[in-house]
Structure 1
């Protein structure tokens, strides 16, 4: 990793494409307006920000997310923290269905702006999380292919889950364009998740051929970064510019909390 300095904290980039660790920021005590604005600008640029050893309480976790987005109150989440209903708790032995490339909130329009985690218990070995830059993946396509994708949508279940547990049989669906202009920067990127049921705007046969290609292309190592975790770490990512994968290579408990930015 190479480190660069920007007031009032240090950015340690994890790859040339996306993902950085932020050093010198105490989220527990809150940040001033200038620091908050600088963090937002770095969030749009780096897309995945990691803050080590923060040990955020549920309330402090929500306040940290408010630097970047308004927290989202999930309509059907069963496992909420008793101290703050906007904090969703997970206690896992395995990553489960999160061990696929996925985007949160494909059941709604717009999808979630961001997602964040704080870690309480992590495996001694393994349990990394990967992110891939969907904007860089789009940039790696040819111009004729980009033009084709402008008229293509992906179909998803409209059941309000988060992609990390089994859903009931699909009854209602929702569509999202597979090319999305970013809400802040305007930069175009792919937008898709492994839970996509099919593509529209092209023939079924074309969709059956195109969807596997897009999924494989967007998860190429060329566009990917990974982070490992220790208790107390906090990570927040741009859910409309990246997708992520929880590596299922560990044994034992893994406990974390999630706050969603809507």
Structure 2
């Protein structure tokens, strides 16, 4: 496949640490060669990439994710697009993700990548925030970093089905709260608000440490936010960031999700 880039493109950082907007790349067309490699490098650097006004079809959305990772087929998801079982559909009057979280905490490792394309968005509000979990780790003191190297977080092992109906926890899974990134080799926190407790410390220590860790990782010092228009596409590194969908809007919000890894 040849490189389809015919004009200059620009990667514009949205904050000093995390997030960038990409202009001049049409993801509805095949992207290969030096352009694809440059996008992957930008992705590992900025962790969240936003491509405006792409208007991707479900199948084009899947192929856009394939630039970065192989799409993941969720075992239980019920709302799938008729054009591809790898595309999960959402049509909401009110948000349900207004908490800091990473996707796929029920598996080890969690999802590598998550991505969204927007079809209907509110006129006001509905922003999404991301926080850089690697920067949050870097800013911890050395003694705390050493402590966390031996600590795991425990989560429910139920995969969910997209309906937000969660049964009581009967099985759990745990994995370290510090992970070395598979591509960059950089260490970062891997934590979500759905953590039940910390393992490797006492119950009392868990009750003290977990809220501290969650609050630290969501500090505004590590965050970036984006607002949306119909046609926008965003993709993020789910093992280097966590995110928060601000629930400050009324009316419909429709989008499609494709997961990587």
- TM-score, normalization by structure 1: 0.95
Quote the Cα distance in structure 1 between the aligned partners of 2:9 and 2:188. Answer: 29
Q: Please, which moves more after superposition, 150-159 or 162-171? A: 162-171
Deviation at 1:162, TM superposition (A): 7.4
Quote the Cα distance in structure 2 between the aligned partners of 1:163 and 1:114. Answer: 17
Question: Relative to 1, partners in 2 of residues 1:8 and 1:180: Cα closer, same or farther, differing over 3 Å?
Answer: farther
Quote the Cα distance in structure 1 between the aligned partners of 2:235 and 2:158. Answer: 24
Deviation at 1:163, TM superposition (A): 8.4
Aligned partner of 1:160 in structure 2 is: 159
Indicate the SS of the match to 1:136: helix
Quote the Cα distance in structure 2 between the aligned partners of 1:176 and 1:108. Answer: 9
Aligned partner of 1:189 in structure 2 is: 188
Aligned residues of 1:104 and 1:162 also touching (Cα < 8 A) = no
Written as runs of structure 1 = structure 2, the 5 A alignment for 1:43-122 is: 43-96=43-96, 98-122=97-121
Aligned residues of 1:103 and 1:163 also touching (Cα < 8 A) = no
Aligned partner of 1:15 in structure 2 is: 15
Indicate the SS of the match to 2:216: helix
Aligned partner of 1:4 in structure 2 is: none
Aligned residues of 2:126 and 2:227 also touching (Cα < 8 A) = yes
Aligned partner of 2:4 in structure 1 is: none
Q: Please, which moves more after superposition, 163-172 or 184-193? A: 163-172
Deviation at 1:29, TM superposition (A): 1.1
Deviation at 1:166, TM superposition (A): 3.6
Check if 1:151 corresponds to 2:147.
no
Indicate the SS of the match to 1:255: strand
RMSD: 1.2
Aligned residues of 1:105 and 1:162 also touching (Cα < 8 A) = no
Cα distance per residue 1:151-185 (max 9 Å; x no partner): 00000000012788241100000001010100101
Aligned partner of 2:3 in structure 1 is: none
Cα distance per residue 1:117-162 (max 9 Å; x no partner): 0000000000000000000000110000000000000000000127
Quote the Cα distance in structure 2 between the aligned partners of 1:162 and 1:205. Answer: 33
Quote the Cα distance in structure 1 between the aligned partners of 2:56 and 2:172. Answer: 36
Cα distance per residue 1:22-75 (max 9 Å; x no partner): 000000012122111110000000000000000000000000000000000000
Quote the Cα distance in structure 1 between the aligned partners of 2:25 and 2:48. Answer: 16
Quote the Cα distance in structure 2 between the aligned partners of 1:166 and 1:249. Answer: 22
Aligned partner of 2:130 in structure 1 is: 131
Quote the Cα distance in structure 1 between the aligned partners of 2:47 and 2:154. Answer: 25
Indicate the SS of the match to 2:118: strand
Indicate the SS of the match to 2:105: coil
Check if 1:200 corresponds to 2:199.
yes
Aligned partner of 2:178 in structure 1 is: 179
Unaligned stretches of 5+ in structure 2?
A: 1-6
Hey, which bits of structure 1, 4+ residues long, moved more than 3 A?
Answer: none
